[in-house]
Structure 1
Amino acid sequence: MTTTRTPSLGRAVRIGLGLALLATIAGISVRAYDYRRVVQWTDAQVTPSVQLIVPEAAHGQQSMTLPGHLDAWISAPIHARVSGYLKSWSRDIGSQVAAGQSLAEIDTPELDQQFEQAKASLARAQANARLAALTDKRWKNLLASNSVSKQEADEKAGEAEVAQANVLGAQAEVDRIAALEAFKHIAAPFAGTLTARNTDIGDLISANGEGSAALFTVSDTTRMRLYVEVPQGYADAIRPDMSVQLDVPDHPGVRFTGHLIGNSGAVNPASGSLLAQFEVDNPKGELLPGAYAEVHLPMAADQHTLTVPATTLIFRAQGPQVAVVGADRRIVLRDVHIAMDLGDRLRIDQGLKPGDRVVNHPSDSLAQGDTVQIARADGDGASRAE
């Protein structure tokens, strides 16, 4: 007797087809899910993520940092007035000297000989003057007795006057060389610090040599002069009786105060800046001549300006711009006018409004109308896109 298995075979085929269909549907679903994830990831990569800042309104007293340099209150380079060889020096750099104190001595053999010759010439002129005076007196007595003519007596009187004039000339020459002899001793013109010594024993000294270095330099550093180049746009910040704070690299964390002495009253056409001069007390000698200083210039706040970081600025052919994100997350490029450059911050008086969302660190490829996603900072400081 034959058994028929056709129904069982048909059921197995149907089950197999069902399983295949389910596997196909599952594969298509997985691929569709992966495709959506790829599309979302691609869109996220194409849409740039930006960080936003809100402009700050100006308030209170602000300051602008400018470079400045310090000079001694008085600084005198000392040159030689006589030629010779340096015989000795008694003060070195860093020494405190008093007014009139000797710094060095110059050996001047030629000048010494000229001095002796001038004194000898004076003695000869004085002797000739005495002889001429006696001769004049005798001839006047002879004229009284009509022993000589008046012409001859007048000639002797003239010779006596010439001899006396020669005495005055010889005396002036002696005084001149005596004054030069005093310059053999180099003295400090005022009390201060010896900041330079450019000579040594045995050096040949040339008097008033053009281009020759000063033998010594004496500086009064109890007070300092601070010079600051203020850009023309901020020249109105220089006001009478104003004070500034300054920092120097060799004294970190220490603030010094300078008081305005005056300004140049004109803008330098080469630099476009106004030179301002301040006085800084230096009783402890902490500030050094020629030193660099960072000067904090006080500025009155302008209520019509907004402050943004300098990292928000975009420089293109159109001029300075910033990127603002609208409510639809699209970029709007705005032309701005910089009222004041404070280094790491900018004061903008045109192109921004309070509450604008400004892109910080904009990329070079950012363009008008681009759609962006806004990055927010999490508690750990990492940025997340919204």
Structure 2
Amino acid sequence: MVIGTGFLSACGPNKKDKEEQNQTVEQVNALDTPTVSLITIAKGKLTSSITVPGELQPYQQVNLYAKINSYVKSLTVDIGSQVHQGQLLATLEAPEINSQLEEAKSRIQQNKAIYFASKATYDRLYSTSKTPGTVSENDLEQAIAKMQSDSANVEAAKSAYKEVSANLAYLQIRAPFDGIVTLRNINLGTYVGPAAGGGNQPLFVIEDHKRLRLVISIPESFTGGLTNKDQVTFSIKELQGEKFTAKIERLAGSLDNTLRSERLEMDVYNTSGKLLPNMYADVNVPLPSRDSAFIVPKSAVVTSTEKVFVIRVKDGKAEWVNAKKGLEAGDMVELYADIQPGDQLVKAATEEIRDGASVKIGSSPVAADDDKGAKKDTAAKK
């Protein structure tokens, strides 16, 4: 019995050691020859979009100032008033304008009198000069020059009168377009004009709310291919559950030096009146689809601190291939690399699968465009 027990005790540990050794060998083999799933790549189209913040701005906005130093005589509108083009908003009063106008009118009469006198002198000299030797040619030239100078002075006086008359029109503040008064900085009797205090604030601010501008900035990496035929959708935080659409109307055509982005503007027709200027919006911008890129799952692309690469499997060996990522949509991404349609990539790539290492294929290769989560138009084009 003692002998048998010793024999069993000697055999037991040996068997256990063998099992541990086998597990260790399997683990080492698994590290040296990892089991991977493959995908067969193909070119296709990827439909994607980005969401950027935007701001609603009035399509037209104007600050109305007083050109002439004057006082507010009357007001016909207030904040929130709907106004129409040419409508009188306020009347200003400047008594010195009337004095200037009378002075300009008197100057016209004065210059006319001088002109008539010089013209009469010229006419007499001209008539007398018909008799040879009575008037020298120099005197006649001096007379005609004086007449022409006085005539020019009359025209200058008339122009001065028109200038003062035009200032009278500036005493009436009128709306330049249909809109709404959003700011009023004056009251009856307020002194206004370039010399007024307060930094010459505007009398009124008028905005067009029936038509708004949706302004966004698109990062440089997403600007290629956008045209004024595309449409965007946007939502407003204050208007939960409502979606709005707008067509891209204007593209800046250049990048902002600070943000490295391109300015886009959309016209929004605010027929319901729900939207207000300076509201912030979340704008969904569709990105142009391209069929010149490979579409692969994001898991197939490795982004390390040094580079971005995919792992191609050829003849049972892993090969690291440098790559660049493009648009992303869901679990799929555009891939640009030195690879060919039909190449097989590791579906779940990691840095642990070393370059040149042997790999074991765990399942039959599947096409990249058959993965779930792909947001593509149709079957991939080769």
Query: TM > 0.5 between the two?
Result: yes
**143 and 103 in structure 1: CA distance in 2 versus 1, 3 angstrom threshold:** same
Look at both structures and tell me which one has the larger radius of gyration over its CA atoms.
1
Which residue of the partner structure matches residue 304 of structure 1? 295
Please state whether the residue corresponding to 1:236 is helix, strand or coil: coil
Q: For 1:90 and 1:117, locate their aligned partners in 2 and report how far apart those are by CA, in whole Å.
A: 32
Equivalent residue for 1:95, pick from 69, 73, 81: 81
Decide whether the 8 Å contact of 1:237 with 1:298 is kept in 2. Answer: no
Which residue of the partner structure matches residue 32 of structure 1? none
TM-superposed CA distance for 1:246, in Å, is: 1.1
Decide whether the 8 Å contact of 1:306 with 1:354 is kept in 2. Answer: no
Q: For 1:120 and 1:134, locate their aligned partners in 2 and report how far apart those are by CA, in whole Å.
A: 21
- Name the stretch that deviates more: 298-307 or 147-156: 298-307
Equivalent residue for 2:104, pick from 97, 111, 118: 118
Decide whether the 8 Å contact of 2:228 with 2:251 is kept in 1. Answer: no
The answer to whether the aligner puts 1:267 opposite 2:258 as a matched pair is no
The answer to whether the aligner puts 1:287 opposite 2:291 as a matched pair is no
For 2:172, give the aligned amino acid: H
- Highest relative contact order (Cα 8 Å, sep 6+), 1 or 2? 2
Written as runs of structure 1 = structure 2, the 5 A alignment for 1:237-386 is 238-299=226-287, 304-306=295-297, 339=326, 356=348
TM-superposed CA distance for 1:139, in Å, is: 2.4
**242 and 147 in structure 1: CA distance in 2 versus 1, 3 angstrom threshold:** same
Which residue of the partner structure matches residue 152 of structure 2? 165
Q: What is the number of residues matched between the two proteins? A: 284
**239 and 247 in structure 1: CA distance in 2 versus 1, 3 angstrom threshold:** same
Q: Deviations over 1:346-377 (max 9, x none)?
A: 86557xx897599xxxxxxxxx9xxxxxxxxx
Equivalent residue for 1:135, pick from 117, 121, 125: 121
Written as runs of structure 1 = structure 2, the 5 A alignment for 1:170-189 is 170-189=157-176
Q: Deviations over 1:259-291 (max 9, x none)?
A: 111211122231021111112222233222222
For 2:157, give the aligned amino acid: A
Equivalent residue for 1:80, pick from 66, 79, 96: 66
Identical amino acids, percent of aligned pairs: 25
Please state whether the residue corresponding to 2:267 is helix, strand or coil: strand
For 1:173, give the aligned amino acid: A
Written as runs of structure 1 = structure 2, the 5 A alignment for 1:26-41 is none
Q: For 1:241 and 1:163, locate their aligned partners in 2 and report how far apart those are by CA, in whole Å.
A: 64
For 1:304, give the aligned amino acid: I
For 2:81, give the aligned amino acid: S
Which residue of the partner structure matches residue 177 of structure 2? 190
Please state whether the residue corresponding to 2:252 is helix, strand or coil: strand
Please state whether the residue corresponding to 1:195 is helix, strand or coil: strand
For 1:106, give the aligned amino acid: L
Q: For 1:346 and 1:173, locate their aligned partners in 2 and report how far apart those are by CA, in whole Å.
A: 75
Written as runs of structure 1 = structure 2, the 5 A alignment for 1:203-214 is 203-207=190-194, 212-214=200-202
Q: Deviations over 1:316-338 (max 9, x none)?
A: 97799xxxxxxxxxxxxxx9987
Instruction: Note the residue ranges of structure 1 that are not aligned, 5 or more in a row.
Output: 1-57, 309-314, 321-334, 359-367, 369-386
Decide whether the 8 Å contact of 1:338 with 1:346 is kept in 2. Answer: no
Q: For 1:292 and 1:336, locate their aligned partners in 2 and report how far apart those are by CA, in whole Å.
A: 37
Instruction: Note the residue ranges of structure 2 that are not aligned, 5 or more in a row.
Output: 1-43, 309-321, 336-344, 353-382
For 1:120, give the aligned amino acid: S
**354 and 199 in structure 1: CA distance in 2 versus 1, 3 angstrom threshold:** farther
TM-superposed CA distance for 1:62, in Å, is: 4.0
Q: For 2:238 and 2:62, locate their aligned partners in 1 and report how far apart those are by CA, in whole Å.
A: 25
Equivalent residue for 1:156, pick from 116, 139, 143: 143
**346 and 213 in structure 1: CA distance in 2 versus 1, 3 angstrom threshold:** farther
